[in-house]
A and B are shown apart, each in its own frame.
Chain A
Amino acid sequence: AQSVTQPDIHITVSEGASLELRCNYSYGATPYLFWYVQSPGQGLQLLLKYFSGDTLVQGIKGFEAEFKRSQSSFNLRKPSVHWSDAAEYFCAGLVSGGSNYKLTFGKGTLLTVNP
């Protein structure tokens, strides 16, 4: 079955530290992959997406993600975290063709940023 897994429920980092949020996927074919951020009480904002091509994808707010087929991973990174990055982060995927509108989400990783 198609699935997206975020192994870390909650991560705490200090402001200025680097960040890596993990995402693993299980699909029969190479999926389209996305990272979304949700601030408390808000909707989801798209940070970045991977469709094909370069495996290192740049997004908004200084985030990047690397697609690694050999590890079935699409981890989100940021070199220096700001207090305003505290939010919940969701990885999502879908397969091209067929039902190419049905996003499968991970359960999310809650990021806390300490001053």
Chain B
Amino acid sequence: NAGVMQNPRHLVRRRGQEARLRCSPMKGHSHVYWYRQLPEEGLKFMVYLQKENIIDESGMPKERFSAEFPKEGPSILRIQQVVRGDSAAYFCASSPTGGNNYGYTFGSGTRLTVV
């Protein structure tokens, strides 16, 4: 029973390029959450999605960032025109129902480096 799968593990992009981060939730989980970890900081909530719906994107930067969770396939966090300040670790978590009543399961993260 695979856990939350994120890929790629490491991603290097030049300034101005696009970054696409993928997250496949645990089997049977239909709720996905994205968090960002900046250097020497704790994780910060970005967005909560269910299949085909964005439930809460209050933690997403207003520009360049978008997320989706299609009916089929993984959830995608997309960052357009990346800048150095986007360099961070991005973690995805999933749960079988909405809310964190049982403790999230986190993936191993994607470490984005913008050069």
Contact = CB atoms under 8 A, between A and B. Distances in A.
Whether A associates with B in a native complex is: yes
B109 interface: yes
Given A43-B109, A99-B56, A101-B48, A34 B103 contact: yes
Given A43-B109, A107-B40, A102 B104 contact: no
A18 interface: no
A56 interface: no
A102 B108 contact: no
Given A42-B108, A46-B103, A46-B104, A101 B31 contact: yes
Question: Interface range on chain B: under 10, 10 to 19, 20 to 34, or 35 or more?
Answer: 20 to 34
Nearest to B45: A102
Nearest to B92: A43
Given A44-B91, A46-B103, A51-B101, A105 B43 contact: yes
A25 interface: no
Contact of B41 (A49, A92, A107): A107
18 contacts: A34-B103, A41-B111, A42-B109, A43-B107, A46-B103, A46-B104, A46-B105, A51-B101, A92-B43, A100-B99, A101-B33, A101-B48, A101-B100, A102-B56, A102-B59, A105-B43, A105-B44, A106-B42
Interface of B: 4, 6, 31, 33, 35, 40-45, 48, 56, 59, 91, 95, 98-101, 103-109, 111
